[in-house]
Amino acid sequence: MSAFKDISYDLINGIFTVLDGNVTYDSTDYNVYKSLPKAAPDNYVHVTGVIQTEDGTKDDFHYYGTVQVRVVTDNVMRADKKLAQAIMNVVRGLLKTSKEAVFDCSPSSLIVFKHESFNELIEQSDEIGKVTLIDIYSFLIV
Amino acid sequence: MAAINGTLYGVFYGATNKLFSTRSASLKVDVNLDDVTTKDSGGWAAHIDGLRSWSIDFDGVYDETDAGATSMTPIEILAAIIARTADAECAFKPDATTTGTGWKGNGTFKSITLTGDMETGIKFSGTIQGNAPLVAIDKT
C-alpha cells in the first residue's frame, strides 16, 4: 500500500488543468491561478484553500476535505457581481460536466468531487470594487 | 498496560485471507443464560449456562483493486455466500508481525451488505457466524 502523503497539489493541479485556457465568457479568456502573481489582472480564477483529513481503512489511506475555487472580479465603478457570476457559471460547467464526473488528479485518484457550499466577499473603496465568489467543493481522494 | 491500535487487528477467513479494506471489526461472544428462577430463589433471578455462540461483524470501504491471494474483497465474500461455501477457519487477530492475543474458530459468511450512497465511497458490512468452538490464539 502507498505511504501517507499530501494530496493538495495533485488536487489543485487537477482543477487547474481542467480550467486553464478554458474559462471563456463573452469572448474573453480569464486567467486561472494556482498561486497568485504579485500583479494579478482585475478578473481571474484562483484555486486554493485545500483542507484535508485522512480517514481511510485498515489497509489504505483515504483523503477527505474541501477545496476552494475563487472567482475574483474588480470593477472600479461598482461591485457588480454579474461578471463574477457568469465566470463562476463557466467554471462550474467545466468542473462538473455531469453529476458523476470527476477529473484526473494523477498520481492521486479522485473518487468524489462534490459541490459543498458557496460564499461571497465584497470589498469596496474609492479605487476598487472587488467581488470574490467562493465555491467550496468536497472531495474524496485515494 | 499499553493500549493496542485497532488498525492492527484484522478479520481472517481461511488460513491467511485477510478481509480487505475494512474500517472496523467486532468479535461478539454470547452465552445463553437460561432462567431457572423458582419460588425458592429468594426473590433473585437465577440462571444456568446455555448455548455459546460467536460472530464477527465487519465493515469497510468497497475496493475491488486488491483481489490478491492473501486478501478477500467484498466480491469474493458475496460469491462465497451465493455459492453457500462451506465454513472455514476464521480469526479475529493481529497481523502476523504484531504480538497479541487473537481468537479463531470455524465460521461461515452469514451476510454482506453493499451500500452505494450518493457522492461518497461505496461501503460494505457483513457478518461471519461461528460454527464451532472459539479458541484463543497467540499472534498467529
Which residue among B7, B63, B120 places its CB closest to the CB of A140? B120
Cβ–Cβ contact A53 with B under 8 A: no
| pLDDT computed for residue A24 by the predictor | 97
Please tell me what DSSP assigns to residue B27.
E
- Cβ B119 vs Cβ A112: under 8 Å: yes
pLDDT band at A27 (very low <50, low <70, confident <90, very high): very high
Interface size between A and B, measured as CB pairs under 8 A = 31
pLDDT band at B69 (very low <50, low <70, confident <90, very high): low
pLDDT band at B99 (very low <50, low <70, confident <90, very high): confident
Bond preceding residue A107 cis, omega within 30 of 0: yes
Measured CA to CA, the distance from residue A105 to residue A46 in angstroms comes to 17
B94 within domain boundaries: yes
B84 within domain boundaries: yes
- The distance of Cα A72 from the centroid of its chain, to the nearest Å, equals 11
B70 within domain boundaries: yes
pLDDT exceeds 80 at position B139: no
Mean pLDDT of B44-69: 89
pLDDT band at B71 (very low <50, low <70, confident <90, very high): confident
pLDDT exceeds 60 at position B1: no
pLDDT exceeds 80 at position A69: yes
The nearest alpha carbon in chain B to A55 belongs to B23
Q: Is B23 in contact with A140 (Cβ distance < 8 A)?
A: no
B126 within domain boundaries: yes
B93 within domain boundaries: yes
B40 within domain boundaries: no
B69 within domain boundaries: yes
Residues A91-114 pLDDT 10s: 999 999 999 889 999 999 999 999
**Across chain A, what does the average pLDDT equal?**
94
**Across chain B, what does the average pLDDT equal?**
91
Distance of residue A59 Cα from the nearest chain B Cα, in angstroms = 5
Cβ–Cβ contact A109 with B under 8 A: no
| pLDDT computed for residue B16 by the predictor | 75
CA-to-CA separations, A130 to A31, A45, A122, A123, in angstroms, rounded: 16, 13, 6, 5
Residue B56's domain spans which residues?
7-35+47-139
Measured CA to CA, the distance from residue B5 to residue B114 in angstroms comes to 26
The nearest alpha carbon in chain A to B6 belongs to A58
Interface test with A, best of B61, B73, B124, B125 (most A CBs within 10 A): B61
pLDDT band at B5 (very low <50, low <70, confident <90, very high): confident
CATH number at residue B134: 2.30.110.20
B28 within domain boundaries: yes
Q: Is A57 in contact with B60 (Cβ distance < 8 A)?
A: yes
Tally of structural domains, chain B: 1
pLDDT exceeds 80 at position B91: yes
Which residue among A57, A114, A140 places its CB closest to the CB of B23? A57
